[in-house]
Amino acid sequence: MTQKIALEEHFLSPGFEDYWKTTAGEITPDIFRQAVARLAEFGDLRLGQMDRDGIARAVLSIAGPGVQIEGDTAIAVRRARESNDFLAREIAKRPDRYAGFAHLPMQDAKAAADELERAMRDLRFVGAMINGHTNGQYLDHPSLYPFWERAEALGAVIYLHPADPPAAMPALEGTYGLKRATWEWGVETGSHALRLVFSGHFDRFPRATLMLGHLGEMMPYLLWRFDSRAAFYGVKLARRPSDYIRQNIVMTISGMYSAEPFDCAVGAVGHQRIMFATDYPFEPPGEASEFIDHVPLADDVRADICFNNAARLLGL
């Protein structure tokens, strides 16, 4: 079994259950209680699963959307700080096994930047996870430039995690099983990331690093198409869209445990841009590790994806 660092491993801070419940879907109360119990646990249950999966270190992040759906900015700022302090206390109990992504109040660019800096400097977190748009505002909005300036200066990795779109997708109305994790979240999150690419965000912030789960939210499959249509429509960028995706975006395997999309992503962006994640506790236990331990790979490539790439990028 290959040693691993896992990068999309969720938890809940006390009092954040109502935020998370908004995206929990139509699950039964019993399943909801089981999920909350796992999200709130940092001891034998979580560590035991890590041991079985060969996970040396888990980078913990709040189960979204958290304070990003909070309507009161002052409350969002306060509760994001409280959540980060809570996570730091849990990490301090097992610093050999846990690290953290900061939770940020993106309603206020300066407050988010300040909290990111505090979390990385004082709490020793390794970056941040942002759960999609914040009350309809996407990460390419000019008001957030001060946040990105700070993130770039800090060398912070920003993990863009799925969230419900601001409005229901008309094409999915009347369907069952296509919303949220099946299709809707991938379309929403991939579109969010492409806004950054096509808006010239990475020309403005060339050292910014965005992390995506699910093997890049379908983008590796479409690199040629992005370049072709950008030229066709006269999109004004310093480089091709695929260049930004290969140079400013890294990916994890969270929730995509199949050889075909995995091979596509490796071929499209290179194995050095791909890292391990399990999406704990939302995927079946052990599935991610079982996949990555047995998918055909050279031993050194497997070690890079499982451990070395994350260790290098996040300083772990």
Q: What is the set of domains in the chain, with CATH numbers?
A: 4-314 (3.20.20.140)
Query: Cβ-count burial of 96 within 10 angstroms (0-12 exposed, 13-18 middle, 19+ buried)?
Result: exposed
Residue 167 pLDDT level (bands cut at 50, 70, 90): very high
Q: Which residues pair with 137 in a beta bridge?
A: 134
Q: Is it the case that residue 26 has pLDDT exceeding 80?
A: no
Quick check: 16 pLDDT over 80? Answer: yes
Active site residue 279: yes
Alpha-carbon gap, residue 47 to 34, rounded angstroms: 17
CB 1 within 8 A of CB 55: no
Measured CA distances, 103 to 63, 80, 106, 136 (Å): 10, 6, 9, 18
The whole-model pTM stands at 0.96
Q: Which two tokens stand for residue 139?
A: 């990460």
User: CA 282 from chain center: how many Å?
Assistant: 14
Residue 290 has pLDDT above 70, yes or no: yes
Tens digit of each residue's pLDDT (9 = 90 or more) over 196-231: 999 999 999 999 999 999 999 999 999 999 999 999
Cβ atoms of 292 and 4 closer than 8 Å = yes
- In the set 30, 279, 293, 304, the catalytic residue is 279
Q: How many CB atoms lie within 10 A of CB 14?
A: 9
Q: In what order do the strands lie in the sheet with 127-130?
A: 127-130, 157-160, 209-212, 249-252, 274-275
Whether 28 shows a pLDDT value over 80: the answer reads no
Q: Cα 120 to the chain's mean position, in Å?
A: 17
Query: pLDDT digit string (tens) for 118-154?
Result: 999 999 999 999 999 999 999 999 999 999 999 999 9
The pLDDT tens digits for 81-110 are: 999 999 999 999 999 999 999 999 999 999
The letter for the amino acid at 201 is H
Task: Name residue 164's amino acid.
Answer: D
**HEC-encoded secondary structure of the chain:** CCCEEEEEEEECCCCCHHHHHCCCCCCCHHHHHHHHHHHCCCCHHHHHHHHHHCEEEEEEEECCCHHHHCCCHHHHHHHHHHHHHHHHHHHHHCCCCEEECECCCCCCHHHHHHHHHHHHHCCCCCEEEECCCECCECCCCHHHHHHHHHHHHHCCEEEECCCCCCCCCHHHCCCCCCCHHHCHHHHHHHHHHHHHHHCCHHHHCCCCEEEECHHHHCHHHHHHHHHHHHHHCCCCCCCCHHHHHHHHEEEECCCCCCHHHHHHHHHHHCHHHEECCCCECCCCCCHHHHHHHHCCCCHHHHHHHHHHHHHHHHCC
Is 101 in contact with 60 (CB distance < 8 Å)?
A: yes
Query: Which phi and psi angles does 130 have, rounded to 5°?
Result: -115, 125
What does the alpha-carbon distance between residue 16 and residue 75 come to, in Å, rounded to a whole number? 12
**pLDDT band of 33, cuts 50, 70, 90:** confident
Average pLDDT over residues 238-263: 98
Query: Mean pLDDT, the chain, as a whole number?
Result: 96
Residue 259 confidence (pLDDT): 98
User: Could you tell me the two tokens for 47?
Assistant: 């560590």
Q: What are phi and psi of 251, to 5 degrees?
A: -135, 150
Percentage of the chain exceeding pLDDT 90: 91
